[in-house]
Amino acid sequence: MKLSTGYVRASGYAHKVRRVLFALTKGKVEPKEVVRASAELNQRIFEEFQRLGVAKEDVVRIAIEFTIEDGKIVWNYESLSIEVYKKSEEEKLAKAMEEVEEREKELEEKIKALEDVALRLKKLIDELLEKIEELKQEHTSLKLRAEE
């Protein structure tokens, strides 16, 4: 079996581990065993948090495989996975995304301005081509009159 907490603030991981474990093992082991096993796992997770420098406000996602043997929950600590999302990194990412969005908006405005200039130039080119055609027709009609 596998326990997975989903995303949770580091300050609330122990409660989430216990709740998920109760839900996964309902009717399979005694409630006392769930309390014992979750306490054991939470101690190991706490030690890992200290090693990783996890702060209370960080977001974590914890997953671990386990088996039930003779009414006891046995953790497979080698499968323990702790994903950490630092609050400080979230703030930096949010700020970077704001900057990207601002620059994209500026770029869109500049592209729009260039498109407007291109449309005006196209209109002027069309007018120039029209005038050239008129001049050609006038010149051709002058030639024809002169030849008469």
pLDDT digit string (tens) for 113-145?
999 999 999 999 999 999 998 888 887 776 666
Q: How confident is the model at residue 89 (pLDDT cuts 50, 70, 90)?
A: confident
- Report the pLDDT value the prediction gives residue 93, as an integer from 0 to 100: 62
Q: How far is CA 55 from the centre of its chain?
A: 22
Per the listing, tokens 């190991």 go with 44
The region, left, alpha or beta by phi > 0 then psi within -120 to 50, assigned to residue 70 is left
- Report the pLDDT value the prediction gives residue 54, as an integer from 0 to 100: 93
- Report the pLDDT value the prediction gives residue 136, as an integer from 0 to 100: 85
**Residue 54: CB atoms within 10 Å:** 21
Q: Distance (Å, rounded) from C-alpha 144 to C-alpha 74?
A: 105
Angle between helices 31-52 and 13-25 (to 10 degrees): 140
Angle at 34 between CA 30 and CA 36, to 5 degrees: 110
Beta strands in the chain (DSSP E): 2-9, 59-69, 72-85
Q: How confident is the model at residue 88 (pLDDT cuts 50, 70, 90)?
A: confident
Q: What single-letter amino acid sits at 11?
A: S
Say if residues 48 and 82 touch (Cβ distance below 8 Å).
yes
- Report the pLDDT value the prediction gives residue 80, as an integer from 0 to 100: 98
**Residue 34: CB atoms within 10 Å:** 20
- Report the pLDDT value the prediction gives residue 146, as an integer from 0 to 100: 60
Kindly state the DSSP code that residue 121 receives in the 8-state scheme.
H
pLDDT in tens, 9-64: 899 999 999 999 999 999 999 999 999 999 999 999 999 999 999 998 888 999 99
